Amino acid sequence: MSAVRLKGLTLRYGGVDVAAVDNLSLEIGDGELLALLGPSGCGKTTTLRLVAGFLDPEAGEIWVGDRCLSAPGNVVPPERRRMAMIFQSYALWPHLTVAQNVGYGLRFKRDLARADREKRIAEMLRVVQLAGYEARYPGELSGGQQQRVAVARALVVEPEILLLDEPLSNLDANLREEMRFEIRRLHEAFGITTLYVTHDQAEAMVISDRIAVLQAGRVAQVGTPDALFERPRTRFVAEFIGKTNVVDGVAAAPDVVEHGGVRLTVAGARFTPGAGVALSVRPHQIDLVEPPGAPAPNVFAATVRRSSFLGDSLDYEVTITGSDLVLRVVGPATRRLAPGQVVGLRIDPSACVPLDGA
């Protein structure tokens, strides 16, 4: 069993007051691919290096199955953690050929016969489509090929845990897309428990089973890509995952939020009247309708301020009539609205997601 449990990990870099990783707890299921997602400097790399054992935590524990890898006073060095890692820089050794790079980790598997070793290297190079490149040096490969060598080097040892630190960030857009699917395919083929660091939310959504969003060294929210998108818990998560409108208002009733005369009914909410509330409303969940004749719940008249054609859809910025509330709305490409035009907006109560920490 290789489920990973991180319990209360904390790390402060020397001479820095703020913790790079701050009391971070997280579980990664056996065979799961979990993405660590967050903006630059939020502590993703640091977390990954703690798991790998390149950094020793100040506090907290790391468990793999029932094996304790790190607890205060008892830290297993990286070479005995049975993990593999794909580095942001690839970290290919320039003095070793492709085959030697890939075969390096097998040197430490004593029970593996030489012939088996070569067979596994050849097989792995075939899997990453690098057969025929065995004798090249890393400096003689393209960026994408180098990246695949790094992948092969990590997978060939059949690690319990695979760690990846923004492995795609150096590739151009097309190749990146291709490699995303490749990594997902390899994950499904090998089923290795994987921790995948990225700051690209689209990448995280495509590739992972679950996503942990990190903010300033803490986990802001963990969940499946769907759950994070549909039910973000904080403003930070809502804004980081996809586009959204955040409406700051005051609870006028247990399920109604008011912002400058605009009253929004929220499904299944129980606010304390008078309390400040923030709502997330995704642009594509706002329906464009005919301007309302009479007032109706969650239906508003609005004026188009700006529209941008995105090919398969249109992106509007609208102002709700009689308020200062500006919303982003996505409309179908079949019906185009011009700036100045008056439209109706209908916001389903279930599309209004209350956020913590208004």
Partner 1 sequence: MDRALVVWVGAALALVFLMAMPLAWLTVMSVSSEAGTTLGHYRYVFTDPALAKSLWNTVVLAFWVGLVSIAIGAPLAWLTARTDVPGQGLIRGLVLASFVTPPFLGAFAWEMLAGPNAGLLNKVWRGVTGSDHPLVNIYTMPGLIFVVAIYTFPYVYIMIANTLALIASDLEDAASILGAGRLTVARTITLPMVLPAIVSGFILSVLQALALFGSPAILALPAGFHTITTQVWSFFHFPPKIEAAAAISMPLLGATAVLLWLQKRLLGRRGYAAVGGKGGTRRRIALGAWRVPALLACLAVMACAIFLPYGILAKAAFSRAWAQPVGWDNLTLANFTFTFFEYGATRAAIVNTLELGVITASVGAVLVAVLAYVTNRRLVVGHQIVAFLAFAPVVIPGIVLAVALFIAYTRPPFVLYGTLAILFIAYLTKEMPVGYGQSDATFRGIPPDLEDAGRILGAGRLRVLRDITAPLAKSGIIAAWCFIFIGVIRELSASIILFTPNTKVMSVVIFDLKEEGQFGAIAVLGLVMLALTFVTVAIVQRALGRDVLGARE
Ligand X SMILES: Nc1ncnc2c1ncn2[C@@H]1O[C@H](COP(=O)(O)OP(=O)(O)OP(=O)(O)O)[C@@H](O)[C@H]1O
Footprint of Mg ion (CB under 5 A): 45
Q: Which of ligand X, partner 1, Mg ion, none lies near 245, with the C-beta cut-off 5 to 8 A by kind? A: none
The CB-of-142 to Mg ion minimum distance in angstroms stands at 23
Restricted to residues 44-63, the positions that interact with ligand X (CB under 6 A) are 44-46
Residue 339's identity, in one-letter code, is P
Q: Which CB sits closer to Mg ion, 38 or 223?
A: 38
Q: Which of Mg ion, partner 1, ligand X, none lies near 91, with the C-beta cut-off 5 to 8 A by kind? A: partner 1
Residue 79's identity, in one-letter code, is E
57 interacts with partner 1 by CB under 8 A? no
The CB-of-181 to ligand X minimum distance in angstroms stands at 23
End-to-end CA distance of the chain: 41
The CB-of-38 to ligand X minimum distance in angstroms stands at 6
Q: Which stretch binds ligand X (CB under 6 A): 36-44, 75-83, 146-154, 203-211?
A: 36-44
Report residue 352 as tokens. Answer: 């209004």
Restricted to residues 150-209, the positions that interact with partner 1 (CB under 8 A) are 153, 157, 163, 169-170
Q: Using CB under 8 A, pick the residue from 2, 70, 147, 280 that binds partner 1.
A: 147
214 interacts with partner 1 by CB under 8 A? no
39 interacts with partner 1 by CB under 8 A? no
Q: Using CB under 8 A, pick the residue from 46, 146, 198, 244 that binds partner 1.
A: 146
Strand partners, 356: 234
SS3 of the chain: CCCEEEEEEEECCCCCCCCCEEEEEEEECCCCEEEEECCCCCCHHHHHHHHHCCCCCCEEEEEECCEEEEECCEECCHHHCCEEEECCCCCCCCCCCHHHHHHHHHHHCCCCCHHHHHHHHHHHHHHCCCCCCCCCCHHHCCHHHHHHHHHHHHHCCCCCEEEEECCCCCCCHHHHHHHHHHHHHHHHHHCCEEEEEECCHHHHHHHCCEEEEEECCEEEEEECHHHHHHCCCEHHHHHHCCCCEEEEEEEEECCEEEECCEEEECCCCCCCCCCEEEEEECHHHEEEECCCCCCECCEEEEEEEEEEECCCEEEEEEEECCCCCEEEEEEECCCCCCCCCEEEEEECHHHEEEEECC
The CB-of-150 to partner 1 minimum distance in angstroms stands at 8
357 interacts with partner 1 by CB under 8 A? no
Torsion angle, alpha carbons of 175, 180, 185, 188, to 10:
160
Q: Using CB under 6 A, pick the residue from 120, 148, 199, 259 that binds ligand X.
A: 199
Distances (CA, A) of 103 to 6, 59, 154, 284: 30, 35, 10, 49
What is the total count of residues that contact partner 1 (CB under 8 A)? 38
Q: Using CB under 8 A, pick the residue from 108, 181, 191, 296 that binds partner 1.
A: 108
Q: Using CB under 6 A, pick the residue from 41, 65, 143, 273 that binds ligand X.
A: 41
- Tell me the residue length of the chain: 358
Q: Which CB sits closer to ligand X, 222 or 251?
A: 222
Q: Which of partner 1, ligand X, Mg ion, none lies near 20, with the C-beta cut-off 5 to 8 A by kind? A: ligand X
Q: Using CB under 8 A, pick the residue from 43, 57, 138, 283 that binds partner 1.
A: 138
Q: Which of partner 1, ligand X, Mg ion, none lies near 249, with the C-beta cut-off 5 to 8 A by kind? A: none
338 interacts with ligand X by CB under 6 A? no
Q: Which of ligand X, partner 1, Mg ion, none lies near 357, with the C-beta cut-off 5 to 8 A by kind? A: none
44 interacts with partner 1 by CB under 8 A? no
Q: Would you say 344 and 326 are in contact if contact means Cβ atoms under 8 Å apart?
A: no
What is the total count of residues that contact ligand X (CB under 6 A)? 12
Residues that bind ligand X (CB under 6 A): 13, 16, 20, 38, 40-46, 199
Residues that bind partner 1 (CB under 8 A): 52-54, 77-81, 83-85, 87-96, 104-105, 107-109, 137-140, 143, 146-147, 153, 157, 163, 169-170
